Amino acid sequence: MEEAKVRTTLVIPTYWTFVLNRFSSKQKPIAVYDHPTFMNEPGTLPRLLRSLEKLRVKGVDVPNIVVLVAVTHKELEKVAEEKIESVLREHSHRLNIISFSSTDLKFVISHLKKKTLSKFAVLLSLIGYSNIRNLGLVIGQILESEAVIFLDDDEVVTDKSFFEKCTEFVGKQYKGKIIGGVTGYYIGSSGSYWLKDDPKEWWKTGWRKRRKMNQAFKIIEGGTRLKDTPFAFGGNMVLHRALFEKVPFDPYIPRGEDMDMLVNAKMFDFAFLLDNQLWVLHFPEYVGSRWSEMRQDMYRFAYMRRKLRDLKHIKEVTPIQIEYLEPYPGYFLRRNLMFKLSVSSFLSATHSALKSDIREIVEYLQNIKSSLSNVNRYVQRHYRDYFYFQELWAKTMPLVRGDKLVKDYLKKKMGK
């Protein structure tokens, strides 16, 4: 007997910012993203959509697609919305696809408030990685999906079996637990999942993320197809309804929300596994500043470490040992986190001085200053907030499933 098909929604976040060297905003950014696309460029989204169209032509059943439109500055919301609408019109004849932007979010929030779900509605946002992915889960829930697949807009899908693999295991049992999430991996322009790590870059001493990530990636090789994993990739991830109805992404972590979600799933007793046959091509066109990534990681790892330490005081969750997350991200969750960051920031500032890059010098030194003050205050203020959010999420998500008004609104946008 043929197994019933899993109803899925494919969610693709896309991030946009001002034109490089023509920054005109007097406002501070509402969010910082690793590599947003400049508004005067076509971006990588059309390339991904073309790859999905090619699969569709070959007979692949591509799920309904929701493109979430995020911006670094509020004043870009309208122009980004119009730009994405223009892009999607070129692909809507072959793909069931819609955009979801700030205008759509306002409609959803207004409707949920009328249903006396105001506490939940005001938490919905297109600002920040976790909030954006959570919104994708809410949309999947409204569309009555059993699974939500996440891709990022700088990827390409060429594997004809990709979507079958996405739903092959999720929701089933693994060692007595429901498989709530499955992650795959990225293949870069080199044709490999290994990241370039130059040992001659002395200024990265103490903060060699790529080296630790490569050590973690060794589990991809050989062996069984499904494996316990310390890492996950948000741009190649599928979450089952059993998980996302109960467990959201953590909105208080600035980046690394994908690996944090793996931890959240584990502490609520879901299995979250790596599928070593689930891969996508990953071709980012622009890489953000290393000092900025380090600064966000500083908050991310300090926050994550404190949250893990506090699990023993939280009812109805399973404590997760940092050792389980070795070598990555576990290496950056150890007690000497701030020492490592300060050493590498100082060395990086020295390297920037040799290049006569004044801005980088200032920013790396600012990382050291923040590590001594701002980070600890942020962690102390928020390290338990996720659990209050999770409790509200678990109570509300079943109530929004299949919401007729919003579902009809989304289907009308999709032309159904």
**Partner residues linked to 228 by β-bridges:** 273
Read off the pLDDT of residues 171-221 as tens digits, 9 standing for 90 and up. Answer: 999 999 999 999 999 999 999 999 999 999 999 999 999 999 999 999 999
Tell me the C-alpha to C-alpha distance, in Å, between residue 197 and each of 170, 204, 326, 393: 33, 10, 18, 40
pTM (two decimals) = 0.95
Residue 143 corresponds to which amino acid? L
Q: What pLDDT does residue 4 have?
A: 66
Read off the pLDDT of residues 271-289 as tens digits, 9 standing for 90 and up. Answer: 999 999 999 999 987 777 8
Q: Are 144 and 408 in contact (CB under 8 A)?
A: no
Output 113 or 371, whichever has higher pLDDT: 113
Cα atoms in the Cβ-side hemisphere of radius 13 Å centred on 295: 20
DSSP state letters, 273-330? EEEEEEEEEE--S----HHHHHHHHHHHHHHHHHHHHHGGGSTT-----GGGGTTTTG
User: For residues 222 and 224, what is the distance between their CA atoms, to the nearest angstrom?
Assistant: 7
Percent of the chain surpassing pLDDT 70? 97
User: For residues 392 and 247, what is the distance between their CA atoms, to the nearest angstrom?
Assistant: 10
**Domains annotated on the chain, with CATH:** 8-285+389-413 (3.90.550.10), 289-383 (no CATH)
269: left (phi over 0), alpha (psi -120 to 50) or beta: left
Phi (first) and psi of residue 100, to 5 degrees: -135, 110
**CA terminus-to-terminus distance, the chain:** 30
User: For residues 193 and 210, what is the distance between their CA atoms, to the nearest angstrom?
Assistant: 11
Read off the pLDDT of residues 229-266 as tens digits, 9 standing for 90 and up. Answer: 999 999 999 999 999 999 999 999 999 999 999 999 99
Q: What pLDDT does residue 414 have?
A: 84
pLDDT above 80 (res 22): no
Phi (first) and psi of residue 181, to 5 degrees: -145, 145
| DSSP designation for 208 | -
Give the pLDDT mean for 289-316: 93
Structure-token pair, residue 34? 């690793």
102: left (phi over 0), alpha (psi -120 to 50) or beta: alpha
Q: What pLDDT does residue 20 have?
A: 61
Q: What pLDDT does residue 1 have?
A: 42
Residue 147 corresponds to which amino acid? A
Handedness of CA 264, 127, 33, 100 (dihedral sign): positive
